[in-house]
Amino acid sequence: MDIEFVSPDQVPQPKHKIRILGLQAIPYPDRRRVWVEVKVTPFQERPNLLLITKNSEGFIVSELSVIETMHANMEFTLHIRTPQDPAGDYEFMVELFYETRKPSQDTQHIVFTIPKEGELE
């Protein structure tokens, strides 16, 4: 009889196989915060992550460093730091790395939109 403690697709992998598997970004109704989800390959050695959000002009409006995460599926709330109305397009980027960011082991990005006031569903 085999007893499995994790499903076969969730077996922790060695460092060289770790990749970002999924990103999601959803603005909160207040338009100043964004819920983000990051999924990575289950790992044996804990990776580092850098999460950056840039506005359409390329300025960084939020940034978060995660050092040696313990979780393969993560959720965060990022705050949009801008004095003006936050409506517009944004790029959310995640870098995954171990000892150094140059080069990163994996980088993924998505684009999301913060709607104008009153347009958020």
Q: Following CA atoms 105, 102, 77, 61 in sequence, which dihedral angle do they give, to the nearest 10 degrees?
A: -140
Identify residue 111 by its one-letter amino acid code.
Answer: V
CATH number of 19-114: 2.60.40.2550
- The whole-angstrom separation of Cα 97 and Cα 35 is 22
Inter-residue contact 82 to 58 (CB < 8 Å): no
Cis status of the peptide bond prior to 103, with omega within 30 of 0: yes
CA diameter of the chain: 62
pTM assigned to the model: 0.89
- Name the average pLDDT for the chain: 93
10-62: pLDDT as tens digits: 899 999 999 999 999 999 999 999 999 999 999 999 999 999 999 999 999 99
